[in-house]
Amino acid sequence: MSAKPFLLAAEGLNKSFDGFQAINDLSFYLDEGELRTVIGPNGAGKTTFLDLITGRTAPDNGSLVWDDGKHDLLKLNEYEIYRLGIGRKFQTPTVYNDHSVTENLLLSLAGSRGIWHSLFGKITRDQCERVAEILTIINLTGHAHRKAGTLAHGQKQWLEIGMLLAQDARLLLVDEPAAGMTDEETHRTGELLLSLAGKHTIVVIEHDMAFVRQISRGRKVTVLHQGHVLCEGPVDQIQNDERVIEVYLGRKSKAA
Ligand code: ADP
Ligand code: MG
């Protein structure tokens, strides 16, 4: 283990499904406050890597530690990992469609005492203020009372990011947020993630290169290929790396 403190450190992770090696000797280190973009062709193992971090899938071997090695994530279950402050946004939004935007945020508030209490209990001033603050961050103040099910696709994605903020997630894992978004929504999502960087640590999996460039300026980008880190570096370097061009950018598909 390196001497430098990392918020998240993965070393030598392996995971195979029926003999197919989806994650192959994967090592990955994340500093607190980083906004890291992970790209790579379809099937590179990006989503599986998030499954390993969140405890959804157990690796065959390797190590995965949190907060400068204070917690061995491989010894914890999904709920315990979530309680450490590791929040995940799936590709398809999973909001409560029949509840208002505000209610969705109340339901996610850290320390919230169950669904019944969140919806029908007395809402404290602190909770109100936190919800208002998050609504501003995710640009949904004007839609606070709308049912989440009636929001546009992009707005639902922002609400879900807001729900991670309400949970007080220290690490936000965001899988392909721009999928299905208009260019305008994608750009605004980029601005939202940039505004959160530093205060939170964020891993974004993405394939839209304009979006990757927008959010990774001056930051490290990781390229995954066949379950392994192919290379890491600034986006310009990545886009000019022969190996990346070969396995990813050279392919005509938009896959990531
Ligand atoms: P990416 O997100 O980079 O597109 P994934 O992590 O979804 O890639 O998948 C990596 C590989 O692992 C794919 O070939 C996929 O079919 C396989 N895989 C992922 N999860 C499972 C699973 N639960 N069972 C079997 N194969 C899986
Ligand atoms: Mg995926």
Give the nearest ligand 1 atom to 255 CA.
4
Q: Where are the domains of the chain?
A: 8-91+171-177+203-247
Name the nearest CA neighbour of 50 among 21, 72, 75, 82: 82
Global pTM value: 0.91
233-252 pLDDT, tens digit per residue, is 999 999 899 999 888 755 54
Give the nearest ligand 1 atom to 175 CA.
2
168-202 pLDDT, tens digit per residue, is 999 999 999 999 999 999 999 999 999 999 999 99
Band of residue 115 on the pLDDT scale cut at 50, 70, 90: low
Q: How close is the Cα of 198 to the center of ligand 2, in Å?
A: 25
| pLDDT of the residue at 109 | 86
Band of residue 111 on the pLDDT scale cut at 50, 70, 90: low
Cβ-proximal residues to 251 (8 Å cutoff; 6+ apart), any chain: 41
120-155 pLDDT, tens digit per residue, is 667 788 889 999 999 999 999 999 999 999 999 999
76 pLDDT more than 50: yes
Q: How close is the Cα of 57 to the center of ligand 2, in Å?
A: 14
**What is the fold, at CATH topology level, of the domain defined by 8-91+171-177+203-247?**
Rossmann fold (3.40.50)
SS3 222: strand
Residue nearest to ligand 1 atom 13, measured at CA: 43
| pLDDT of the residue at 254 | 45
